[in-house]
């Protein structure tokens, strides 16, 4: 960063999310998230102690996610039941609040992120469909194979913020790792933690299941930086 000493930056944002810098050996580093559909790069906005604002343009590279392109006329499905839609919105808002609040939690981890399962990935992050040029849906997590009852492990140290049964996600657990990083574990048959628990990296927090909207048992694993959902494979250690 040109002419910017670590102590000169008071606030920074990228893609609408605040960054939490750490200084080690006079090198400034922070996690940051690139939204999956960003195409023209991002602006890193820095506020300095002298009141100056410095914008740094960050180039981004398109992710290599499989995309099915459909160019046929739109089909209209039955409108969703409004009570159900309201429930889904409420649940999404609660998950979003966990992500927002994570920016106020200090970093709770010191080690790299682990995959929550050691089994094969059955569906990667990002695959989606474009509909007449517009992306209509994407797979915003990573699916791991597993039989009902198989262990699901905490990707890193964190605090349990949400344990509930969601309409789409089924039995869910959301962990706050601090500094804006949240992980979530969906479709569980059983949750083995309670809100407020501190879990260590690798602790079993639940069991694979087929709850919520699924076609069979698996773990759907989500990682978010603030409210930007990122590719879990970009965060977990390989």
- Choose between 17 and 207: whose C-beta lies nearer to Zn ion: 207
CB of 222 to Zn ion, least distance (A): 9
- Choose between 191 and 229: whose C-beta lies nearer to Zn ion: 229
Binding residues for Zn ion, rule: CB under 5 A, are 141, 143, 220
Q: Which H or E run includes 158?
A: strand 158-166
- Choose between 11 and 213: whose C-beta lies nearer to Zn ion: 213
- Residues 93/104/139/113 CA torsion (nearest 10 deg): -150
CA 176 to chain centre: 11
- Choose between 161 and 220: whose C-beta lies nearer to Zn ion: 220
Supply the DSSP symbol for 112: P
Q: Which residues contact 66 (CB under 8 A, 6 or more apart)?
A: 126, 127, 128
CB of 138 to Zn ion, least distance (A): 11
- Choose between 201 and 220: whose C-beta lies nearer to Zn ion: 220
DSSP per residue over 67-102, as a string? EEEE-SPPP-PPPPPHHHHHHHHHHHHHHHHHHHHH
CB of 141 to Zn ion, least distance (A): 5
CB of 21 to Zn ion, least distance (A): 32
CB of 209 to Zn ion, least distance (A): 13
Which tokens is 158 given?
């964190």
């Amino acid at each position: 960063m040109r002419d910017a000493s670590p102590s000169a930056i008071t606030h920074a944002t990228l893609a609408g999310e605040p960054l939490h810098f750490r200084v080690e050996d006079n090198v400034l580093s922070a996690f940051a998230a690139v939204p999956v559909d960003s195409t023209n790069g991002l602006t890193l906005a820095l506020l300095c102690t002298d009141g100056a604002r410095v914008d740094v343009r960050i180039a981004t590279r398109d992710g290599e996610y499989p995309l099915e392109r459909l160019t046929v006329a739109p089909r209209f499905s039955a409108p969703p039941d409004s009570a159900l839609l309201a429930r889904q919105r409420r649940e999404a808002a609660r998950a979003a609040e966990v992500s927002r609040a994570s920016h106020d939690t200090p970093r709770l981890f010191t080690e790299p992120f682990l995959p929550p399962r050691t089994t094969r990935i059955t569906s990667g992050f990002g695959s989606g469909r474009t509909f007449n040029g517009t992306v209509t849906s994407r797979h915003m997590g990573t699916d791991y194979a597993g039989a009902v009852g198989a262990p699901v492990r905490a990707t890193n140290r964190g605090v349990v913020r949400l344990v509930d049964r969601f309409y789409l996600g089924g039995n869910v657990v959301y962990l706050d790792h601090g500094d804006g990083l949240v992980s979530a574990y969906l479709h569980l048959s059983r949750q083995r933690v309670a809100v407020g628990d501190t879990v260590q990296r690798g602790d079993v927090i639940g069991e694979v299941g087929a709850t919520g909207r699924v076609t069979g048992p698996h773990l759907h694993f989500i990682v978010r930086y603030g409210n930007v959902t990122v590719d879990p494979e970009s965060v977990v250690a390989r």
